[in-house]
Amino acid sequence: MQVIVKIAQGSVRGATRDGVASFLGVPYAAAPEGPLRLRPPAPPPAWDGVRDAVAYGAAPPQLPPAPGVPPIWRPGDGLACLNLNVWSPDPGGAGLPVMVWLYGGAWQVGATAMPQYDGAVLARSGVVVVTVDYRVGFEGFGHLPGVPDNRGLRDQVAALEWVRGNIAAFGGDPGNVTVFGQSAGAASVALLTAAPAAAGLFRRAIAQSIPAGLRTPDEAGRVTGALAAAAGVPATYEALAGLPPEAVLAARDVTATSPFGPVVDGELVTGPPWAGMAGPAARGVELICGFTHEEYRGLAPGGPPAGVDPAAGAASFGLDADAVPTYGLAHPGAGDAELFTVLMSDALVRMPTTWTAEAHARAGGRTWLYDFTWKGPALGAAHGVDVPFTFGDGRSRFAGRLLGSPPPAGFAELSERVRRAWTSFAATGDPGWPRFDLDQRRTRLWDLPPADVPYPLADFRRIWGRPPQR
């Protein structure tokens, strides 16, 4: 059944299925092409008549996520990628909580059209779900002289401004918005929570696996220089904006494995996610954050390199000599590869997420922390394993890689529990487990059955000491 909604730009025609109306590929900003290429997002154009919103828009330019995986973006897709999608259980109603999803992908890949991000099941819990396409790679995070940094984050802010102005037309409450995301999306959530530019655009935040990693302008500038040299052009805005996106992507392939990400610009990004949590913008946002128990298994699904030395890994992060013995005491009988996996899980995600929770709680923010300990049959409690549980879909290709196919017994029950917690938090600010504070440090363990325990990584947390401020 078709349904038409009037928004600021014009009318959009969506479709209703199984009690949920979906509106796909709705532009929240102008296409970043021509004079808008590699620029901050500009307001979306208006249209006459009714615009069909029954198919996803184009993904942002990007390389295939892995060898042999079909490309998410092709050159013929163009640059009209600043779109979002809305699922509503009651587009004619009012006052529903709103949840806005920001995908992960190491700042290099991602698109809302990926099946694992379908919002229909989550919307049936009584919330309006919005998923946002934002620019990744050089288009979103490349550093250029005279051009604002962090265009991908600016896209997210523009999408949240669109939500504030238009979501009531879909039955949502613009004053009760929760922004949530995983991996790079979780870092986006945390950075926006602290950013004055996003103040007032959302009330609550859920950050699933916050990674470490920022670039200074100098570091980002060196990446731009290497990319421009590979493309055979000067490292200027005019030269790089004049290249088709596929040429930029081809040049990107000769740079670092993950060359792009948030740049410390002194405006949107002033430091790592935890550093901004003491500011007034962050204190006023209620925050859930957490990690999967074996993050590195998803970040390096092939496992650690052969002959890996945990002690050398610990030293590279500036840890003391007693770090590896402490990890060994907690994992008796573990070999070097397993210890390295635990160490890297802490370095890349578990500690950054913990530091963010601590900083938010220390500043007086309402904070909740979790450890997703449920283990899939293939990769265990790996990075990303929580995404199928969040969206209630255990049968996508993404879910199959992490959960097996069909998903194991218990998936439906735990997914329902997670979704109930997330939507309850979005509606009321209470996910159903004790808040995290610096005394009791209560933490939810997501497994069957869930449990609420003292922070489970206390011995490892002591090893890492004070969090870095860049």
Half-sphere exposure of 82 (CA within 13 A, CB side): 30
3-class secondary structure, 13: strand
**Residue 383 a catalytic site member:** yes
CA distances from 422 to 207, 391, 415 (A): 11, 10, 11
Is the CB of residue 125 less than 8 Å from the CB of residue 157?
no
Cross-strand pairs, 182:
208
Which is catalytic among the residues 139, 294, 295, 358?
295
Angle at 241 (CA atoms; ends 238, 245), nearest 5 degrees: 155
**E strands within 89-171?**
96-102, 128-132
Which is catalytic among the residues 294, 383, 396, 415?
383
Reference 399, options 411, 410, 385; nearest CA is 385
- What span, in angstroms and rounded, lies between the C-alpha atoms of 92 and 6? 11
Reference 382, options 101, 107, 183; nearest CA is 183
Q: What DSSP element (H or E) covers 11?
A: strand 11-17
**Residue 424 a catalytic site member:** no
Parallel, antiparallel, or unpaired for β 83-88 and 128-132?
antiparallel
**Residue 183 a catalytic site member:** yes
* DSSP-derived secondary structure letter, 376: B
Is the CB of residue 86 less than 8 Å from the CB of residue 22?
yes
- What span, in angstroms and rounded, lies between the C-alpha atoms of 62 and 49? 33
- What span, in angstroms and rounded, lies between the C-alpha atoms of 379 and 340? 16
Which is catalytic among the residues 88, 183, 345, 415?
183
> What residues are annotated to the active site?
183, 295, 383
